[in-house]
Amino acid sequence: MQAHIYHLQNLSALHVGTGQGVGVVDLPIARSKATNLPIVPGSGLKGVLRDELQSQQQLNKEQIKALFGPDNANEDSHAGAIAFGDANLLLLPIRSFSGTIAYATCPYILRQYQRDLGLSLKIPQLDKEQAGVVEGSVLFIGRTSEIALEDLDIQANHNENIQQWANVITQNLYPEGVAQAEEWRKEVNKRFVILPDDLFSFLADTATEVRIRIRIDRDTRIVKEGALWSEENLPAETVLWGVLGVADARDRSGLKAADLSALLPQEELNIQIGGKHTVGRGLCRLLITQPQAQ
């Protein structure tokens, strides 16, 4: 099997939901059961990628069938060669008093990212009430050592380790070949912040976007009875990552994992995932890396 890392960045608000909620939000987003951090299930990405590769990349029917499996019960049943893991939260955009927006992560997430990418970088050690930023960060409030995210003020400092993490993540998110890659790396880099786990978990619960939706009665021009609901979204610019694997074909084509991996897009792919696509939700960038040795 050949393993790939993929990165997903939503360019508009993203709603990948779980159906009717039981809390204050009627339509919440999908979250990990253990951590309550937002995720995008791999099953949704797999279906979208199948359609995109069939239409944009112009793969033939046999290649699509080998990669993703048959699409109806009338064909020979077999699993597809590609296996998608869920997309996990990497960077959460947070409203900032200075610099407009901060791209936040935490040591727990970086440890998972380190494992999946096989990185040798050290995990930053933060005090409970202190954040880590890069040198020259635009998040500092004036000449103080504080940053203000949402309604929270927190002390921040910088060191070489934090800079290294910012460089690695922005390089993976904006590799060579992406339009204005260097400019985007710089902009995200100087807004990069590592927060303590507890604080990041709190913001991941409270700093997502909730929109109120209504349906208007065509005749009375007022809200229809019962047609008022709330939807949770991941805010635009959120970054997630995941792992996908490609095995040898399970049909009669005889295609090997390397052959099928070569069919995956080598450059960034613009896709639309999740619900509410008719109101502009779910416009995303998808980047798939070269295969890693297994």
Q: Give the pLDDT band of residue 235 (cuts 50, 70, 90).
A: very high
pLDDT digits (tens, 9 = 90+) for 47-74: 899 888 888 766 888 888 889 888 766 6
Total tally of structural domains belonging to the chain: 2
d(CA 64, CA 54): 7
Residues 241 and 280 in one domain: yes
Residue 269 inside a domain? The answer is yes
Question: What's the pLDDT tens digit per position in 67-95?
Answer: 988 876 666 678 888 999 999 999 999 99
Q: Are residues 58 and 141 in the same domain?
A: no
In a shared domain, residues 81 and 95 = no
We report the CATH number of the domain holding residue 291 as 2.40.30
Q: What is the pLDDT of residue 150?
A: 93
Amino acid at 186: K
Phi-psi region of 51 (alpha: psi -120 to 50; beta: other; left: phi over 0): alpha
How far is the C-alpha of 37 from the C-alpha of 30, rounded, in Å?
9
Give the structural domain span for 277.
1-16+42-85+234-294
Query: Both 127 and 148 in a single domain?
Result: yes
181 and 256 co-located in one domain: no
Average pLDDT of the chain?
A: 90
In the numeric block, the tokens 């005090």 are attached to 127
Residues 251 and 168 in one domain: no
pLDDT of residue 73: 60
Do 59 and 99 fall within a single domain?
Answer: no
The verdict on 113 and 191 lying in the same domain is yes
- Which tokens hold the place of 62? 């046999």
pLDDT at 293: 46
Greater model confidence, 218 or 283: 283
User: Quick one: pLDDT at residue 74?
Assistant: 60
Q: Judge if 65 and 98 occupy the same domain.
A: no
Q: Quick one: pLDDT at residue 251?
A: 82
What pTM was computed for the model? 0.92
Q: How confident is the model at residue 291 (pLDDT cuts 50, 70, 90)?
A: low
Tell which wins on pLDDT, 129 or 77: 129
Same domain, yes or no: 276 and 178: no
Q: Are residues 66 and 113 in the same domain?
A: no
Residue 167 lies in a domain: yes
- pLDDT tens track for 186-220: 999 999 999 999 999 999 999 999 998 888 888 88
**Domain termination site, one of 207, 242, 262:** 207
Rounded to whole angstroms, the Cα distance separating 282 from 217 reads: 27
Cβ-based burial of 28 (10 A; exposed 0-12, middle 13-18, buried ≥19): buried
Residue 115 located in a structural domain: yes
146 phi/psi in degrees, rounded to 5: -110, 150
Most confident of 117-121, 213-217, 252-256: 117-121
> How confident is residue 277, by pLDDT bands cut at 50, 70 and 90?
confident
In a domain, 21, yes or no: no
The β-bridge relationship of strands 101-105 and 269-272 is unpaired
Residues 97 and 188 in one domain: yes
Count other Cβ atoms within 10 Å, centred on residue 102.
Answer: 27
